[in-house]
Structure 1
Amino acid sequence: MTAHVLVPVDGSRPSRAALEYACEQFPDAELTLLYVVDPMTDYSRQRAYPGYTADDEYKSEREKGEAVLEALEETLPDGVSVGTAVEAGDPARTIVRYADDHGADGIVLGSHGREGVARYLLGSVAETVVRRAAVPVTVINDREA
């Protein structure tokens, strides 16, 4: 049986490092790259750009996600079994739900490694995933990336 590893990505350095780690540590696994469209980004854009709608946001964020996934797929070594998905929702909850719904055996994700007030105010997707996931989670810290 082939392992199924979920690798949430956003195009950041930590998410690229998580993908590299997953490829190195799980060379025979089926990888799924997941890009999560966060609907909360819509609010700030609507406030900054009058006339900007939720439909615009979803379309542009989905296109961004597809571009990120395509770019990352091109960096993968030959022979890596990979699938991609774009989902919308709260990032941490969407990652955990996707792992549950699609039978992931593990999750490898990057973390920006924020501390103190920044972590408190911004929250931590990685921390929430670690606490809620029913499968093992490996976190690649930005300082390690």
Structure 2
Amino acid sequence: MPDHVLIPIDDSDCAMTALEFALEEYPDARLTALHVLDPADFYAATGMEGGAIPNFEQLRESHESRAEDLLERARSLAADRDVDLDIETVVGGVSRTIVEYAKEEDVDHVIVGSHGRTGASRILLGSVAETVARRSPVPVTIVR
């Protein structure tokens, strides 16, 4: 039984399903919901590939506010099940940051959501889930 389980979350249904799975399967472990703020998303929001970003601080604050709301929803879901949930927001490339966090924070297991796909594409994983599964120093459970 793992002592510390990491659940990377974003605003996808698959991430929330992964969180629900972790809450059910490992209610006695230390659970950490992690949201990664990717600076590349700030650039994508403006449509600019380089140069100065108008209102960068406003974009950053908007992303941080959405992350706080997301993590509070996760904490509320855990509280409804009488499970403690640590929440954390970090900045960096999503896959790399999740793997680094698992290494640095003594995580025993990672539970990550996959893309919900149908048809022939259902055999494919999302790029984050695939990269984390390949590079993680600990076991990874991918939840659909």
TM-score, with length taken from structure 1: 0.83
Distance change (3 Å), C-alpha of 1:2 and 1:79: farther
Quote the offset at 1:78 in angstroms: 4.0
SS of structure 2 residue aligned to 1:81: coil
Alpha-carbon distance in 1 for matches of 2:2, 2:95: 25
Counting only pairs closer than 5 Å after superposition, residues 1-145 of structure 1 correspond to structure 2 as: 3-47=3-47, 52-76=54-78, 77-113=80-116, 124-141=127-144
Unaligned runs of 5+ in 1: none
- Contact in 1 for aligned 2:2/2:108 (Cα 8 Å): no
Unaligned runs of 5+ in 2: none
SS of structure 2 residue aligned to 1:17: helix
Quote the offset at 1:57 in angstroms: 2.3
Quote the offset at 1:113 in angstroms: 4.5
What is the CA deviation profile of residues 93-145 of structure 1, one whole-angstrom value per residue up to 9, with x for unaligned ones? Answer: 010011111100100010114676xx79xx6000000011000000012xxxx
How many positions carry a matched residue from both structures? Answer: 136
TM-score, with length taken from structure 2: 0.84
Alpha-carbon distance in 2 for matches of 1:30, 1:5: 6
Q: Partner letter of residue 38 of structure 1?
A: D
Q: Partner letter of residue 110 of structure 2?
A: I
Alpha-carbon distance in 1 for matches of 2:56, 2:140: 32
- Contact in 2 for aligned 1:5/1:107 (Cα 8 Å): yes
What is the CA deviation profile of residues 3-48 of structure 1, one whole-angstrom value per residue up to 9, with x for unaligned ones? Answer: 1000001121101100011011112111000011111111122237
Q: Partner letter of residue 97 of structure 2?
A: T
Q: Partner letter of residue 64 of structure 1?
A: R
Quote the offset at 1:58 in angstroms: 1.9
- Contact in 1 for aligned 2:14/2:116 (Cα 8 Å): no
Identity of paired residues, percent?
A: 39
Q: Partner letter of residue 23 of structure 2?
A: C
Distance change (3 Å), C-alpha of 1:96 and 1:2: closer
